[in-house]
Amino acid sequence: MNPSDSRSGETAGPSGEPYGGSSTSPHGQGDRPGPFTATVRTALILADTEKAAVGEILPELRRLLHDRLTSVAIIEDARTFCDGAACANVEVPGGIPDLVVVLGGDGTVLAAARAFADHPVPILGINFGRVGFLAPVEAQDWRAGTMDALEGRAILEPRMRLDVRLSTGERAVALNDVVLSRSSEDGMVDLRLEADGARVSDYRADGLIFATPSGSTAYSLASGGPVLSPSMQGTVVTPIAAHALSHRPLVLRPDAQISVHVLGTRMPTSVNLDGRPLGTLPEGGTMRLERHPETYPLLSPSGMDPWRRLRDRLGWRGRLDEGS
């Protein structure tokens, strides 16, 4: 299976049909939202059934999909599905589907994206979590959101990813962020950041966060980083408790070749990818990051205002009183 069609520049589904009509980047990869036009024949439901509300709608969703598709597989143990930073050996019932419907929160969406990292499958996230930046369909709107995906009304949002390689041999793909940080027993670590072979700065800090636009609203935001529009391209570099107050978050161009060198640490530094441990780096170790050549296709329901999602999730208001 070739997940990309170099002739059209559009990301293609398992059946070979293009996912949607988003415009293309110089790399032949869709980089702006567009209609999700692929024919969906097979689907996987990835459900976090530890949430009571998920169990209530799962039978109805199963019937809706069975009535319209040729094959529907269900995984009810979402919390242990692809629990690591890299999940190359995850077995999916029925093979790679045309669509993944997630019943859960952002963590479940990230698990699905890790499982299909090599062959990106469009994900429709139905939010049963607390935040839901990556799961834009509210639980009460699950039926309308699902029908949008099946009938060509959903919007495909191509999301930039990061290809991560450690000098110790580990490699994986991040949709949200990569965090290099001190161990709990250690003090600050000394790190050197390079972009395209040029030294950017040396940091004495608790660590560094490298966030995609999708991940700019996660740990990076909590550490003072900026919010990037989800479908843009670029990498946010946010220091964690930097010793020098002059160190501020940076936004690097998407094609930057990024390297981080561990200059000094008493204990191996931890590397986490999308909230899951990838490995550790000793003093002298290096982490390299670059934009993955393929974006990941996330789906949103028709008519969704992307800024409303941020307003709702972050509690933005025009005034300080609740009545605004």
Residue positions annotated with a catalytic role: 106
Rounded to the nearest 10°, the torsion over CA 102, 104, 110, 111 is -80
Three-point CA angle 66, 46, 48, nearest 5°: 120
Strand, coil or helix: 211: strand
Measure the CA–CA gap between 104 and 102, rounded to whole angstroms. 6
Which tokens in the block code for residue 164?
């991560």
Q: What is Dmax (Cα atoms) for the chain?
A: 60
Number of residues that this document lists for the chain: 324
Measure the CA–CA gap between 194 and 319, rounded to whole angstroms. 41
In three-state form (DSSP H/G/I as H, E/B as E, the rest C), the secondary structure along 110-175 is HHHHHHCCCCCCCEEEEECCCCCCCCCEEHHHHHHHHHHHHCCCCEEEEECCEEEEECCCCEEEEC
